[in-house]
Amino acid sequence: GGEDSVFFGCTPHQPGSWWIRDDKTIALHDRGLVEIVPTELGLVARRIMDDGLYFLPQEKALAGELDQWYRVFESPVGNILMLERRVKRGRLAISGHRGLVEVDVTNLPRVEQTGQVNHDGGYCILGRTSDGIFAVSHGKPRDWGYEEVEPAVLLGSKGGTFKELEPLIKKSSFKTV
């Protein structure tokens, strides 16, 4: 409560992320930062054509020190192409060229990998329900992100875990690229 509104947006017709405070607007995507996700301890984001996850501590963000991002995780599945849209139970899914990774971000800046699903590319996790069911999509992976992303399908079961995704993805009805 009482904090300024912040918009982290990304749409097909106008990709990017903006920091808006009072009458000042900063295009964070001009600095290479996209898909910014708020956490309890600050913000995490990916950079275009990069395999790193970046962190901006909450006190730096609130002070408007937007040049203070630093790398906290290196993706084992190549360039990070998409971040899950929100942190759920301290976990965040990362979609990359060669698979999916789940990380624990409860102790930022320390990030721990909690799971990995290897695949030939194209699958991405958009989010998950409160019950643990994943919204998974598929698109054409590019160095900067995905093209032609299909509508998401829900995979998993109530109380499901990231580790259960691999066989479900293999059985999914997505067309491959």
175 contacts: CB under 8 Å, gap ≥ 6:
138, 150
E-state strands within 22-152:
24-27, 33-38, 42-47, 52-57, 70-74, 80-83, 91-96, 99-107, 110-118, 123-128, 134-138, 140-141, 146-147
Q: Please state, rounded to an integer, the average pLDDT across all residues of the chain.
A: 86
pLDDT score at 6:
47
Lowest mean pLDDT among 9-13, 96-100, 111-115: 9-13
Half-sphere exposure at residue 15, Cβ-oriented, CA atoms within 13 angstroms? 14
50-88 pLDDT, tens digit per residue, is 999 999 999 998 888 888 999 999 999 999 999 999 999
pLDDT score at 26:
81
Tokens standing for residue 111 = 């990030």
